[in-house]
Structure 1
């Protein structure tokens, strides 16, 4: 298992909190209010107030009991109290099985059982068969269209990554990203450092699920490096 432990104590914790403060300041400079919460009833209410209204099954109370010890979400609102962005993350303890084995069970529960036309394959991303330990899934990321192109997607996503690092010090944090976005470098810009050109393998994907997703992920050490980079760039910036 590829994993480099970097405990969030002392200088490392200060670096992460400094990076988070810088990111929060960047988001608030756009006139937004940003908040973290573990109330997933409110998360679902917030999702319903967005233009997309898209709630991922991974963060739905239909499938999971999400609570503060293993999940959180971050929202951003404009001055009219209208949602501008949402994202969520949850921790899975996969020390007894690989991420791919976890997918075989969980993806079937969420997507195949409710939709008998969907068929899950077994040829998932190669890396997923080796990832084990404390693993965070980051998803349900949405940013309102009029706020795109301002660097907010990067800043907000990085906030989610670093809150996960500070809370849980996971072995890995991963997401599933459209191949087009991954190839354009979006994953690298937001903080992912490792890329596998296939996510979950679908023989027949559910209608609302892209069959071309990539597995994108970072190790704990990668996330700690992201925090250092954010602080270093701010220190080097004039003014």
Structure 2
């Protein structure tokens, strides 16, 4: 018996509308978004931007991005890049996220050893799973709700661009999780200590929190944005 519910055919117009609302909200702040699929360009940008570090998860040195990834840059009125996020789709089939990590992580990380005692959700996630990461916001733009809007835009665009998406996940610093950032952005899963690292690779913190959202919850997020606005207290303020 298939444990995953049969997907209903859903109208993506709500997703597109919510994305447009977020883009307009950012433009009112003087911030403009650009969509990219060429990860060679991201590698070039990573060497030019002070403060941004491209991770292995979005690197062409480890992944072949052919119709399974995109990245978004934000620019100010002077065309200076002030934000970056990247999304990659992994088609796992019946394999789980844990199965993928067992093979993938030793290949891309030096000096790390991954264990088997992950959080239960890591073994439950199968199908088409998107990874959202490489988030960077210029320090001068971190106090105007831009990070929340930017993250929501990436979530919505993942569903628009990957029609058969089942789930999207990423990792968040504990300090951000404690401040309610997963709630503000619409993530419906927040799992601390999700990854069993026996030895952490350089640049990885075992304390990072796994955050995620399912396909059906992305539609719910879009409906909330369309109903209350992209900067309403429903998703952007702590109660």
Task: Write out aligned runs for 1:140-155 (5 A).
Answer: 140-155=134-149
Deviations 1:59-112 (A, max 9, x none): 111111112x1100000111222210000101111122101111111111111x
The 8 Å contact of residues 130 and 168 in structure 2, kept in 1 or not, is answered as: yes
Query: Secondary structure of the equivalent of 1:161?
Result: helix
Any gaps of 5 or more consecutive residues in structure 1?
A: none
Deviations 1:27-68 (A, max 9, x none): 11121221111011111222222222311101111111112x
Q: CA deviation at 1:222?
A: 0.6
Do the aligned partners of residues 235 and 195 (structure 1) sit closer, same or farther apart at CA in structure 2, a change above 3 Å counting? closer
Deviations 1:105-155 (A, max 9, x none): 1111111xx33xx22211112101011111111110110111012111111
User: Structure 2: how far apart are the matches of 1:49 and 1:23?
Assistant: 27
Task: Write out aligned runs for 1:82-231 (5 A).
Answer: 82-111=80-109, 114-115=110-111, 118-169=112-163, 170-231=165-226
Partner residue in 1 for 2:237: none
User: Structure 1: how far apart are the matches of 2:136 and 2:47?
Assistant: 12
The 8 Å contact of residues 22 and 230 in structure 2, kept in 1 or not, is answered as: no
Q: CA deviation at 1:171?
A: 0.8
Query: Secondary structure of the equivalent of 1:106?
Result: helix
Deviates more, 1:193-202 or 1:214-223: 193-202
Do the aligned partners of residues 164 and 7 (structure 1) sit closer, same or farther apart at CA in structure 2, a change above 3 Å counting? farther
TM-score normalised per structure 1: 0.90
Do the aligned partners of residues 95 and 236 (structure 1) sit closer, same or farther apart at CA in structure 2, a change above 3 Å counting? closer
Query: Secondary structure of the equivalent of 1:139?
Result: strand
User: Structure 2: how far apart are the matches of 1:131 and 1:192?
Assistant: 15
The 8 Å contact of residues 73 and 88 in structure 1, kept in 2 or not, is answered as: yes
Any gaps of 5 or more consecutive residues in structure 2?
A: 233-239
User: Structure 2: how far apart are the matches of 1:98 and 1:188?
Assistant: 25
User: Structure 2: how far apart are the matches of 1:214 and 1:148?
Assistant: 20
Task: Tell me how many residue pairs correspond in the alignment.
Answer: 229
Q: CA deviation at 1:235?
A: 9.9
CA RMSD of aligned residues (A): 1.9
User: Structure 2: how far apart are the matches of 1:14 and 1:120?
Assistant: 40
The 8 Å contact of residues 2 and 131 in structure 1, kept in 2 or not, is answered as: no
Do the aligned partners of residues 3 and 186 (structure 1) sit closer, same or farther apart at CA in structure 2, a change above 3 Å counting? farther
Partner residue in 2 for 1:30: 29
Partner residue in 2 for 1:19: 18
